[in-house]
Structure 1
């Protein structure tokens, strides 16, 4: 399938650079797959479209302040380090800039020596493995020195780092936020539960591969990045009960969707599981795990718009995106949302 089938014109000014003051005031496009209709609402009105017995599935991953700025020991040359994922205790896969400055054995110093990274292995495309040295607790040191790894299309500085976290973020490990969840507040979640909507949690640590463009002409040739996921036994039991009674499972974000679909394809039912998934979902594949999807508006020619198209149909999704551009919706991480039912 030609990648050009997932391209569309997006004016640069529609890329949201900062979050709205009120998370729930973002716009919400309601897309009905059966009726092929589109409505325009605000996110606070999501309560009008969820009913008793529905189950929202949220990704409780927490974004690490994973961007570090340091200097080479000995020369003082400036180096930027971006944590990708932990391979073992105190050892991480990272991206470094400029990569040519960092060889095996190079030491990078952060915060006047509060944290030191030594390069232990070279990888492709600026990738490195490093071993960290520090005193105390690593995550506390990282919290004091690191910055939020905002996506490359966001040029503005973030004044409040919590705005790039969901209000239910819990499990440390992501290099990027599961952005569909940024629209929820604790008050909105409480209101939904009071109406009989169930809430379920899983974890998928979002990697920077989520922003990687598809650089092949035929999408079947694309190599998908792998991300760590985990679903516990209680959540699996809850989700199976929702399915058995015929209620809807509504995934919040493509990350939750990829996790649920991985488990259903591997096991046929929801069950306790953890591991690495590189699942690549695109038409004409059919999604078996979910009945609805809340998601943001994604990059042209991205794996994310392909996943959404597999759920709702490419033609309908591209029509919805054209409507979003026409109506001046805000795109990407800090942008508006759609609910596909």
Structure 2
């Protein structure tokens, strides 16, 4: 997390002559839902002839961007199903969250996450019961380090 509270985002950009690029992403710019309609998903266009120039486009623009002989690399990986819902066990309040990544922790038996949480209040130590498709799950979260800007750090407990 940068001093401004923004998440650090890294991307490989070998096509541009760089091996690694690190930029600062404000949390509100991190996608938490798929684009609707799907062809509204955004593209960053980089042309080999002008690698320092970036263009913004959408998936629907692909036919106009591609010429005969061009190669289109399709990423078929799936996004981690990282959205979760829960209820605070102390107040019954609803909590919605987005798992971002595992966070380092001193106890190797514990699992700590960096997550963006949406609830009325983020209280340190607040127990959150995760909800599965059929109701409450055996997993709980506990807020460890609330942040004024997402993400916060939570501890995940339950079956592994």
**TM-score, structure 1 as length reference:** 0.19
Name whichever structure is richer in strand by fraction. 2
Where relative contact order (Cα < 8 A, 6+ residues apart) is larger, the structure is 1
Look at both structures and tell me which one has the larger radius of gyration over its CA atoms.
Answer: 1
**TM-score, structure 2 as length reference:** 0.33
